């Protein structure tokens, strides 16, 4: 949670919340919850505070109290910038959302943009951009691309790997702060803000821009921030020229034929689910590679890399 969201506007409440955070960091989650509840007595409309209380309650084993705090968060913040609906689903208090709230994803990456590259590459051993670019290179024999559209481009980590093989490179992201970081690298010929969770006609990928314009569409480490992937696949289908390639990654859900929400608040997708979507949207899978894509809480996260070709 970013610093600008932590203040309640009440000095005493903020002080108690700070002490609660210290207790939580020391492992005393019950004590943290009690102090946080005291702070919220002073500022009962503090949505971020209720979200923090839910975390402390959950970690102290009080599931019902955590659910109540998350529901209070949602009442105070219906646009759900904290992802309370995702947490409720993980606690079994509601159905798993097919998509996370766009406001939550946008805030997450706006807050993360300044430290994104260093945190992922240096601390989490993040490797999707290199591995996906290498798989694309092996699959195509080093093919050059006339027009590449980088979905969820972030700060441009995949763009750095594909720039030398793209005559024209455009990138789109939901986060304005991530786009600003990408712009600073001077990699892209065009950057724009767009939302993969929306239908193609309102997503922001088209407007005055041509359909069927790309011979490569990429989505490196993007689709795990979506559940149901029908909309990003529909967008990709409209972006790709006949015979164009779609290079993308997912977190591996292993068995099953659908997707699931993980405690990280990211989604994992099965290969069977991806294969069914490829068939629906006239994409032929031409390369599949299982690999470790990052570390999370000290544990390796398994992913699947894909390259698919749109029917000519």
Domain positions in the chain are 3-95, 110-310
Tally the residues of the chain.
312
pLDDT at 4: 39
Judge residue 269's burial from the number of C-beta atoms within 10 Å of its C-beta, 0-12 exposed, 13-18 middle, 19 or more buried. buried
- Domain at 110-310, CATH class: alpha beta
Task: For residue 286, give the H/E element and its range.
Answer: strand 283-296
Distance set, CA 167 to CA 181, 189, 237 (Å): 21, 9, 21
The confidence score (pLDDT) of residue 1 equals 40
Eight-state DSSP code of residue 186: T
Q: Of 312, 292, 286, 297, give the one whose Cα is nearest residue 135.
A: 286
Which ranges of the chain would DSSP assign to H, the alpha helix?
Answer: 3-6, 11-25, 29-42, 47-59, 63-76, 84-90, 102-112, 116-118, 128-140, 157-162, 176-184, 230-239, 271-280
Which is nearest to 86 in space by CA: 267, 230, 299? 267
Q: Which of 52, 30, 50 is nearest to 42 (CA)?
A: 50
Cβ atoms < 10 Å from Cβ of 44: 11
Return the pLDDT at 126.
84
Strand partners, 307: 247, 287
Question: Do 110-310 and 3-95 have the same topology in CATH?
Answer: no
User: Domain 3-95 belongs to what architecture?
Assistant: Alpha Horseshoe (1.25)
Provide the pLDDT for residue 308.
98
Task: From 277, 249, 170, select the one nearest 216 (Cα to Cα).
Answer: 170
pLDDT per residue as tens digits for the range 210-266? 999 999 999 999 999 999 999 999 999 999 999 999 999 999 998 878 999 999 999
List the chain residues with pLDDT less than 70. 1-6, 121-122
Distance CA 32, CA 83 (A): 21
């Amino acid at each position: 949670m970013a610093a600008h969201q932590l203040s309640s506007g009440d000095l005493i409440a903020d002080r108690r919340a700070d002490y609660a955070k210290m207790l939580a960091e020391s492992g005393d989650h019950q004590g943290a919850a009690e102090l946080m509840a005291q702070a919220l007595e002073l500022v009962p409309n503090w949505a971020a505070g209720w979200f923090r209380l839910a975390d402390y309650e959950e970690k102290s084993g009080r599931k019902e109290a955590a659910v109540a705090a998350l529901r209070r968060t949602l009442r105070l913040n219906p646009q759900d910038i904290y992802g309370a609906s995702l947490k409720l689903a993980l606690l079994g208090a509601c159905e798993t959302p097919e998509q996370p709230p766009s406001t939550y994803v946008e805030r997450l990456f706006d807050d993360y943009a300044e430290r994104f590259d260093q945190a992922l590459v240096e601390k989490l051993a993040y490797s999707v951009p290199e591995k996906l670019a290498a798989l694309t290179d092996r699959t195509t024999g080093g093919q050059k691309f006339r027009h590449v559209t980088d979905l969820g481009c972030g700060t441009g980590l995949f763009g750095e790997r594909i720039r030398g093989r793209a005559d024209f490179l455009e990138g789109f992201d939901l986060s304005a702060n991530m786009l600003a970081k990408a712009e600073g690298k001077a990699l892209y010929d065009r950057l724009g803000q767009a939302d993969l969770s929306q239908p193609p006609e309102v997503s922001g990928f088209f407007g005055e821009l041509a359909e069927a314009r790309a011979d490569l569409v990429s989505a490196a480490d993007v689709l795990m921030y979506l559940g149901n992937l029908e909309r990003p696949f529909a967008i990709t289908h409209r972006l790709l020229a006949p015979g164009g390639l779609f290079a993308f990654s997912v977190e591996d859900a292993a068995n099953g034929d659908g997707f699931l929400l993980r405690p990280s608040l990211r989604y994992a997708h099965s290969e069977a689910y991806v294969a069914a979507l490829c068939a629906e949207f006239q994409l032929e899978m031409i390369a599949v590679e299982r690999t470790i894509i990052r570390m999370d809480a000290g544990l390796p996260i398994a992913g699947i890399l894909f390259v698919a070709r749109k029917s000519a």
